[in-house]
Amino acid sequence: MDFKDTPQEAEFRAEARAWLDANAKLKDPNSSEGFGMFSERENPDMIKRAQAWQAKKADAGWACITWPKEYGGRGGTVMENIIFNQEERRYETPPNVFGIGIGMAGPTIMTHGTEEQKKRHLPPMARGDIIWCQLFSEPGAGSDLAALRTRSERQGDEWVVNGQKVWTSGAHYSKWGILVTRSDFDAPKHKGLTYFVVDMESPGIEVRPIKQMTGGANFNEVFFSDVRIPDTNRLDAVGNGWSVAITTLMNERMSIGTGMNLAPADAFDELRRLAESAYLDGAPAIENSLVRNRIAEFYTRLKSLELTGYRTLSYISRGAMPGTESAVLKLAGGILLQEMSAFAMELQGPLGIEHGADASFNHGLFQDIYLGIPAMRIAGGSDEVQRNVIGERELGLPQENRVDKGVPFKDVPTGA
């Protein structure tokens, strides 16, 4: 065990830092641009900036560090990836809109795709040229994803898809999507699914924005009317969509979970600055022992997230399967950020109700987090789903009695 860099790692870190110094600006701690979690619908300019940054990284060999070179990565190690991420977060960079592609679609294609599919999709994904969205959830299928009913029917070398997806983040700027459909309604629920990659410009796809509680609209509903998908865009076997989807969901949990390990740390620096400037009952808040205690408690929890993230990645670098540690990270991270942002708003007194970049404290950062964080506790497997995952997969506790298994999907009860 050693929490310090080896000489090679230190060299890698220096190299990363030199490249970042030459290509990006260090964050100015006093002018936080804002966290902006789901706050506004992404505008084309922001997407362009994000793509330009990703392409720059890719061209210099800093994108998808652990991916093989032939698929647009660096062929580097998990540790190198950790180091680059640690360094990159010190710089001002555009929001990352590639999480669904690189974090979820990429590993799924890597596992289940044909060589042709990998060669075609992975390099432009790594470079940010093509942005991906995830067409999984439906009005009747969220946590219970396998209840989905978007229908796919084979016609020769093509499939015809009809149905509706919902909560599709970034569908409005994504060029491709990963899609799970039901190809067999007579098969049991988990057996009749088939998984595709789909060109979002295909005729018959309609994307409509949905406004969120933040006021922004990062997600959408997506309608499929007789959309034709070539069979060459099917991932894995017909009827095997559930196991492909599980790969995506595991990677989603990993990518949100390990992505989560540093988010509270960023907010924490702001929290400390806030406590130094805020007053509580006529005295500097920072001198109040309740405030100090709470801040130390948050720090204890966020360090444990950060360190657990690294520990998880270390396991994986030793060849272990991503386990339930990422469920722990996602669950604990959402709760921590919710409590931290509420605490910060309380420190602001009556001004805690302000919102927006002109707010008196922290450019409205904590209000942004506070408004966005409920989504973190729902999307990508809700808190309850994570607790089931830990209880059942990690600890071997039995599933509840289920009425949806072993019967044809069309006979499974629905609320409607």
Partner 1 sequence: MNFLFDEDQDALRDAARKLLADKATLEAFHKHMEAGSTHDAELWGLMAENGYLGIGIPEEFGGAGMGALNQVVVAEELGYCLAHTPYTASISGAAEAIMLAGSETQKQAHLPGLASGELIGTIAYFEANGRHDAAGMQAQVKNGKLTGTKVPVMDAEIADFAVVSAQDERGALSLYIVRLDQPGIKRQSIKTIELHRKLAEVQFDQVEAELLGGQGSGAELLDQLLNRMAILVAFEQLGGAQRCLEMARDYALERYIFGRPLGTYQGIKHRISDMYMRIELARSNCFFGAWALNSSPEDLPEAAALARGAACDAYEFAAQENLHVHGGIGFTWEANCHMFVKRMRLLDALLGGRMLWRERLFKALQAKAA
The CB-side HSE value for 2 (13 A sphere, CA atoms) comes to 6
Tokens (6 digits) for 24? 């990006």
Assess 391 for contact with partner 1 (CB under 8 A).
yes
Asked if 232 touches partner 1 (CB under 8 A), the answer is no
- Asked if 398 touches partner 1 (CB under 8 A), the answer is yes
Residue of 289, 321, 350, 413 that binds partner 1 (CB under 8 A)? 289
Please list every residue from 23 through 62 that binds partner 1, using CB under 8 A. none
Residue 9 in the binding site for partner 1 (CB under 8 A):
yes
DSSP 133: E
Residue 239 near residue 191, CB atoms below 8 Å = yes
* 160 and 152 Cβ atoms separated by less than 8 Å: yes
Q: For residues 323 and 393, what is the distance between their CA atoms, to the nearest angstrom? A: 9
Between residue 317 and residue 336, which ones bind partner 1 under the rule CB under 8 A? 318, 324-325, 328, 331-332
Q: Which two tokens stand for residue 301?
A: 């929890």
Q: How far is the CB of 275 from ligand FAD (least distance, A)?
A: 29
State yes or no: is 87 an active-site residue: no
* Residue 158: CB minimum distance to partner 1, A: 43
Q: Which residue in the shown chain puts its C-beta closest to ligand FAD?
A: 142
Task: Please tell me whether residue 287 adopts helix, strand or coil conformation.
Answer: helix
Minimum distance of partner 1 from residue 393's CB (angstroms)? 10
Residues 6+ apart with CB under 8 A from 293: none
Binding to partner 1 by CB under 8 A, coded x per residue (else -) over 235-274, reads -------------------------------------x--
Binding partner 1 by CB under 8 A: which of 351, 357, 397, 403?
Answer: 397
**325-347 and 241-259 helices, crossing angle to 10°:** 40
Rounded CA gap, 373 and 335, in Å?
9
User: From the list 394, 405, 407, 411, which residue makes contact with partner 1 (rule: CB under 8 A)?
Assistant: 394
Q: Taking CB under 8 A as the rule, does residue 399 contact partner 1? A: yes
For the bound state, the minimum distance from the C-beta of residue 307 to partner 1, rounded and expressed in Å, comes to 4
Nearest residue (CB) to ligand FAD, 136 versus 361: 136
CB 297 within 8 A of CB 343: no
**Beta strand spans in 136-204 (E):** 151-155, 158-166, 176-182, 193-199
Amino acid, res. 354: E
Q: Report the partner that residue 414 touches, choosing among ligand FAD, partner 1, none (CB closer than 5 to 8 A by kind).
A: none
| Whole-angstrom distance, CA of residue 56 vs CA of residue 59 | 5
Count CB neighbours of 359 within 10 A: 19
Give the binding site for ligand FAD (CB under 6 A): 38, 133-134, 136-137, 142-144, 167-169, 219, 375, 378-380, 382-385, 388
Residue 223 contact among ligand FAD, partner 1, none, beta carbon within 5 to 8 Å by kind? none
293 touching partner 1, by CB under 8 A: yes
Does position 414 bind partner 1 by CB under 8 A?
no
**Least CB distance to ligand FAD at residue 151 (A):** 17
Q: Which residue has the tokens 């060589």?
A: 115
- Would you say 212 and 375 are in contact if contact means Cβ atoms under 8 Å apart? yes
Calculate ∠ Cα 276-279-282, nearest 5°.
140
C-alpha torsion sign, points 360, 362, 365, 370: negative
8 Å CB contact between 192 and 182: yes
Write down the catalytic residue from 87, 252, 270, 306: 252
Region from 110-118, 299-307, 355-363, 371-379 binding partner 1, contact rule CB under 8 A: 299-307
Chain residues binding partner 1 by CB under 8 A are 1-6, 9, 79, 82-83, 272, 289, 292-293, 295-297, 299-301, 303-305, 307-308, 310-311, 314-315, 318, 324-325, 328, 331-332, 384, 386-388, 390-392, 394-401
Give the active site residues.
Answer: 252
